[in-house]
């Protein structure tokens, strides 16, 4: 059962630190109560990137699972997420960071999924070329720090610390750099075949100081999906540096009542 005290704490923290950028669309006005949360990490990361958010959700009484994406292909990452969703015992909020938003967009049509939460995440439409969409906005600095080797890619240490995790404690940031997922060079070439945000209540946390995904691109995607949107003055890793705001948004998507 979700703790009223924990929910109140999380939502209060969010209200103090985040700016609401749009209203909840009509279909998301009363989210279905969910007790399960599945977290999907992005590129240049692994499941440990959720380590600050997970305890807050667990304290609130939610069952939490984090997917470990192999980052070899969108198809394989979606298969991993579907396997975790299959283990859930009822209504589930699906949450993603960064590239994980593509996985969320494709797999969020699962009938167990009651709401979608995008955290500085990609949110393409069905059949859309996300790379082409991103190029209509100024390139973020992190893109210059991608290092390719042997068919895989990762962020250089400088780019990771400055452009990916700019507001994370340096000791924590270096640990995250060490465990970053190495992505296949072809990872970003696939297109989603369906966009769950057309039919599921959606929530979006924009990172206003993001140097990995342009904040204006994030705002565009959030507005297009008519998501309940908050803006957090954080780097791309708001899920690490501002976990209370992220957890509060997830609790809201789970239908938690203060």
Is the model more confident about 82 or about 30?
A: 82
Bridge partners of residue 185, in order along the sequence: none
Pairing of strands 202-207, 228-232: parallel
**In whole angstroms, what is the distance from residue 252 CA to residue 258 CA?**
9
**14 has a pLDDT exceeding 60:** no
- Provide the pLDDT for residue 8: 41
What strands lie across the sheet with 183-184, from one edge to the other?
146-149, 152-155, 183-184
Question: For 26-63, how does the pLDDT look when each residue is reduced to its tens digit (9 = 90+)?
Answer: 444 567 899 999 999 999 999 999 999 999 999 999 99
**4 has a pLDDT exceeding 80:** no
- Provide the pLDDT for residue 81: 98
Find out whether 257 and 3 touch, Cβ atoms under 8 Å.
Answer: no
Quick check: helix, strand or coil at residue 205? Answer: strand
Q: Between the CA of residue 247 and those of 15, 38, 39, 128, what are the distances in Å?
A: 12, 13, 11, 29
Q: Which fold has domain 4-253?
A: Rossmann fold (3.40.50)
**69 has a pLDDT exceeding 80:** yes
- Provide the pLDDT for residue 257: 52
pTM assigned to the model: 0.89
Question: For 107-156, how does the pLDDT look when each residue is reduced to its tens digit (9 = 90+)?
Answer: 999 999 999 999 999 999 999 999 999 999 999 999 999 999 999 999 99
- Provide the pLDDT for residue 30: 63
- Provide the pLDDT for residue 3: 47
Question: For 177-230, how does the pLDDT look when each residue is reduced to its tens digit (9 = 90+)?
Answer: 999 999 999 999 999 999 999 999 999 999 999 999 999 999 999 999 999 999
Find out whether 98 and 120 touch, Cβ atoms under 8 Å.
Answer: yes
Q: Which of 118, 108, 117, 148 is nearest to 217 (CA)?
A: 118
What are the extents of the domains in the chain? Answer: 4-253
């Amino acid at each position: 059962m979700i703790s009223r005290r924990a929910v109140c704490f999380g939502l209060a923290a969010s209200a103090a630190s985040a700016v609401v950028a749009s209203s909840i669309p009509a279909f998301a006005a009363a989210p279905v109560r969910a007790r399960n949360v599945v977290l999907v990490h992005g590129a240049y990361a692994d499941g440990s990137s959720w380590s600050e958010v997970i305890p807050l959700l667990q304290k609130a009484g939610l069952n939490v699972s984090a997917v470990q994406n192999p980052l070899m292909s969108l198809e394989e990452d979606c298969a991993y997420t579907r396997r975790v969703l299959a283990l859930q015992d009822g209504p589930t909020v699906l949450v993603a960071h960064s590239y994980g938003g593509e996985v969320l967009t494709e797999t969020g049509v699962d009938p167990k999924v009651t709401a979608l939460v995008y955290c500085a995440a990609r949110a393409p439409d069905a059949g859309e070329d996300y790379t082409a969409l991103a190029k209509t906005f100024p390139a973020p600095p992190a893109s210059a720090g991608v290092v390719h080797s042997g068919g895989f890619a990762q962020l250089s240490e400088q780019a990771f610390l400055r452009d990916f995790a700019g507001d994370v404690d340096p000791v924590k940031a270096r640990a995250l750099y060490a465990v970053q997922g190495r992505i296949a060079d072809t990872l970003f070439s696939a297109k989603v075949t369906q966009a769950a945000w057309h039919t599921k209540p959606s929530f979006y946390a924009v990172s206003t100081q993001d140097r990995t995904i342009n904040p204006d691109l994030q705002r565009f995607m959030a507005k297009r999906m008519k998501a309940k949107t908050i803006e957090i003055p954080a780097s791309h890793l708001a899920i690490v540096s501002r976990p209370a705001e992220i957890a509060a948004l997830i609790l809201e998507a789970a239908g938690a009542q203060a």
